[in-house]
Structure 1
C-alpha cells in the first residue's frame, strides 16, 4: 500500500468523482482507476460504489478513510517541517472568500497550513462570487471559496448544505413542517443577488418546479435578510449554514420542499498554473466537509 495510492483514494472519496480526482491530482483518469482497483485487490474489498452518475464510499471505504487521512497527513507534515526548516516554502497564498466561509472547514484547513508553513503569508479577499471567480481566472487569486460546480476548475468540497426558508415567527407559514416553492413565491421573496454563487442554484430549482423566480429584495448579507423578514417584508431563502439564522425568536427556520441542496468548495484553475503555496495547501488532508443539514 503506497502513500500515493492513498492520496488518490482520498481524492476520489472527497471529490466523489474519478474525473475530478484525476484533475485534482494532475494525472489521467485511467491512472486513478487502476490504482484504486489495485488497492481494492490488495484489501480484498470494494472501496467505492460506482454507477453512471455517482461514486460513493462502501463500508470498507469508510473504514479506510481515517487511516488514509492519518497516513497522508503524517507524510505532508513531515514534508512541511523540512520545507519550513530549510526555508523552501515562502510567498503569499491569496484566497477569495464569499459568504459562508466562516461556517466551512476552510478556517481549520488554513490553521493547519499556518502551523506547517509559517513562512507563507495568507491574503483573504472578501467579495461576491462572480468577481472573485474572475480574479481566479485572471490569476490574481490562487483560489476562491464559492458554490460549485463551475467548469474549468479543480475543486475541493468544504460545505454540504441546503437552502431553507426564513419566516417571521408570527406568520402562519412559521408553523408549517415545510414550505413548497409555490408557497414561498406567494410572499415577497428575499434572497441573494445575481452576483452570488447560490443565485443560479435557486433559479434552477424554481425553474425545475415550474415556479416563477422573482426576488423582490436581493442582498447577499444574511443579517439584512433576517431583519427584512422580521420587519414583515416577506420570506427569505438562505443557506442553512448561515450564521445567525437560529436563536432569534423573531425568525423561524422552515425546510423547503423539494429540497435545494448545494455544495461550497475551494476552487482553483485546472492545469499547471498553481503556485507553490496553493499546491502545499491542496496536499494537506482536508477536514471533512461540514454538513449543516441532513442529506
Structure 2
C-alpha cells in the first residue's frame, strides 16, 4: 500500500469522479484508475461503485477512507515538524479568490511572497464564497479572499480588508435615475440583476430584503459584477453591486445609494482556525495580514 494510492482514494471520493480527481492531482486519469485497482486488489474488496453516473464509495471504501485521511494527515504533520525545525519555507499554497476582489493588489502581494520564498508554489482558485468557505474548512485552500456578511463563517478566522456600500445601478432612462438615494423597499417590485446565490453579497441582499418583508425578484444572476452593470445599462433591470464594481460604468449609468437599511459588502482574508497549517501557508497569511490591514468601516 502506497501513500499516493491513499491520496488518489481521497481525491476520487471528494471529486466523485476519476477524471476530476486526476485533473486535481495533475496526473493522467488512467494512472489514477490503475493505482485504485491495485489498492483494491491488495485489500481484496472494491472500494468504489462505478456503475452509476458518479463514482461512489462501497461499504469497504467507506471503512478505509478515515484511515487513508489519517495516514495522509500524519505524513503532512511529519513534514511540518521537520520544516519548522530546519526553518524551511517551501512546498505549495493554494489561495481562493472571488471575482470582485480585483481592485486589490493581489499580484503585488504574491510577487513579494515569491521573492522571499521562491521555493513555494502558488495556485489561485476562483470560486463562489460558499464553495471557498467549504474548501478552507476542509484544508483544500490555505487562504481565501471571501465576500461575507456581518458574521464570520464558523470554523474560520477572518480579517476584513475592504468594506464598501452596496448600491443600485440603473440606466439613465430608468424611473429611479432621478433619485440620489432610495430605501431598499423601492426595489420590491423591480427586476433585479444580482450575483448568484452562494456569494457573500447575494446573501447580504437576500437577508436585507427578507428583513424588509419581501423576496427580491431576481431576473439575472451572473458571477461577473461588471457584466451586471452592463445589463443594467441596457435597461434590463436594477443591478445591485458593490460600489467599486459600479464605478467603472458611472459615465453610462446612474449610481443610487440604498438606505434604510444601508448594506455593506465586505471582502475578508479567511483561513482555517484549526488543524495543521504549513509553514508556507502561515508565512503567506502573515504577509497578507500585514500588507492588507483591517478596514475599520463596518
Aligned 8 A contact 2:190 2:217 in 1: no
Match of 1:288 in 2: 293
Match of 2:171 in 1: 168
Structure 1: unaligned runs, 5 residues or longer: 1-82
Aligned 8 A contact 1:91 1:121 in 2: yes
Please give the residue correspondences for 1:211-250 in structure 2 after superposition, counting only pairs within 5 Å. Answer: 211-242=214-245, 245-250=247-252
Aligned 8 A contact 1:105 1:288 in 2: no
Aligned 8 A contact 1:108 1:287 in 2: no
Match of 1:254 in 2: 256
SS at match of 2:186: helix
State how far apart, in whole Å, the 2-side matches of 1:112 and 1:156 are. Answer: 20
Match of 2:7 in 1: none
Match of 2:95 in 1: 95
State how far apart, in whole Å, the 1-side matches of 2:278 and 2:87 are. Answer: 16
Aligned 8 A contact 2:137 2:155 in 1: no
SS at match of 2:214: coil
Aligned 8 A contact 1:189 1:217 in 2: yes
Aligned 8 A contact 2:136 2:144 in 1: yes
- Residue deviations 1:80-105 (CA, integer Å, cap 9, x gap): xxx9xx98211111011112221235
Aligned 8 A contact 2:242 2:265 in 1: no
**Deviation larger for 251-260 or 275-284:** 275-284
Structure 2: unaligned runs, 5 residues or longer: 1-82
State how far apart, in whole Å, the 2-side matches of 1:196 and 1:113 are. Answer: 28
SS at match of 1:187: coil
SS at match of 1:203: helix
- Residue deviations 1:238-260 (CA, integer Å, cap 9, x gap): 11122x64345321111111210
Match of 1:190 in 2: 193
Aligned 8 A contact 1:190 1:217 in 2: yes
Aligned 8 A contact 1:165 1:253 in 2: yes
State how far apart, in whole Å, the 1-side matches of 2:282 and 2:190 are. Answer: 47
User: Aligned Cα RMSD in Å?
Assistant: 2.4
Match of 2:55 in 1: none
Aligned 8 A contact 2:188 2:215 in 1: yes
Aligned 8 A contact 2:229 2:249 in 1: no
Match of 1:120 in 2: 120
Higher CA-based Rg: 2
State how far apart, in whole Å, the 2-side matches of 1:231 and 1:197 are. Answer: 26
Cα shift at 1:264: 1.3
Match of 1:146 in 2: 146
Aligned 8 A contact 1:158 1:264 in 2: yes
**How many residues align structurally?**
208
State how far apart, in whole Å, the 1-side matches of 2:217 and 2:192 are. Answer: 7
